[in-house]
Amino acid sequence: MRAAICSEYGEPEVVRIDEIASPSLEPGHVRVRVGAAAVNFPDVLVVADKYQISVPTPFVPGSEFAGVVEEVADDVGDLAVGDRVSGTGIVGAFAEEIAAKAVSLRRIPDGVDDHTAAAFGVAHRTAYHTLRSVARIRPGETLVVLGAGGGVGLAAVQLGAVLGATVVAVASSADKLEVAASYGAKHLVDHRAGELRALLKDVAREGADVVVDPVGGDLSEPALRSLRRGGRFITVGYASGTIPRIPLNLVLVKGIRIQGFQFQDLDPDEFRRNEDELVDLLVSGRAVPHIGAIYSLDDAVGALRLVGDGQAIGKVVIDLQQA
């Protein structure tokens, strides 16, 4: 099969396309013919060996995929050949086939195409669980979303609006903000236009209730300062490449709650509720990923570079069926 291969750590350009053997099939696993794979910022970090988990080389990058089950091993429950499924992992998605644990896969609802299914899982699940179970956003609250043009950020804009929040989108270009507006952002802030704290004060004079931050870096502290007393600051990731240093006196004086998001920390009952709600939102069309660019497998490096440089708007998809 054809696959993207990372044989040495480095920039996206170290990745090459080659023919390799199909992955072996262990008990509890299924082989999926990949129709589409989505690119996430951690994929770039894994290739550079800068992610929290180091993957030994050589490996196939890619953490999010959708396709059709073409072979099953023992102990895979009720999954069968021909089922359309999506899934996530650390690596393996940028290939024509992937062997995945059956328990990690979700059936794709009828009417949802491979591109949408591949792009929906990581960003929308991260954003929705963050908003519902960590931030506990309520209708009428003011939600500031940093990195509002990226995958998680744009999903948080869309889902925040669905949940009834007044969404303030913060991004680095007019194009990104235009897309954020189309997904429900009421206020648009280009952080290049001035000091972020002052820009946020102009649109949220009473202070924000919640900040969702998948970016980190220099934007985190001014965004935190924009919170009203008792506000909630949720740190989701550090796409800027810099982990911020927050003065704790701000947390003390304003009674701010700072929380991090991790899937494993979620209450099991709330997790199932959130997942069921997300499927309903997807099927109804109220929550769909914005796919800003589609690449072929041959141009997987270009897809990784676009995401790594922070130039992607929404999600970037690799179409495994595209020549």
Residues 312, 318: Cα–Cα separation, whole Å: 13
Q: 20 — phi, psi (to 5°)?
A: -135, 170
**Buried/exposed code over 150-160 (b: 16+ C-beta within 10 A; e: otherwise):** bbbbbbbbbbb
Would residue 147 be called left, alpha or beta, if left means φ above 0 and alpha means ψ between -120 and 50 degrees?
A: left
Question: What Rg do the C-alpha atoms of the chain give, in angstroms?
Answer: 20
Cis ω for the linkage preceding 244 (within 30 of 0): no
pTM above 0.85, yes or no: yes
Task: Note the Cα 71 to chain centre separation in Å.
Answer: 28
Tokens 């792009």, residue located: 119
Residues 9, 18: Cα–Cα separation, whole Å: 17
Residues 68, 37: Cα–Cα separation, whole Å: 13
Q: What is the pLDDT along the chain (323 residues), one digit of tens a residue?
A: 999 999 999 999 999 999 999 998 999 999 999 999 999 999 999 999 999 899 999 999 999 999 999 999 988 888 999 999 999 999 999 999 999 999 999 999 999 999 999 999 899 999 999 999 999 999 999 999 999 999 999 999 999 999 999 999 999 999 999 999 999 999 999 998 889 999 999 999 899 999 999 999 999 999 999 999 999 999 998 888 889 999 999 899 899 999 999 888 889 999 999 999 999 999 999 999 999 999 999 999 999 999 999 899 999 999 998 75
- First-to-last alpha carbon distance for the chain, in angstroms, is 14
Q: CA–CA distance from 199 to each of 145, 206, 273 (Å)?
A: 13, 13, 36
- Give the max Cα distance, the chain: 60
Q: Which amino acid is at 144?
A: V
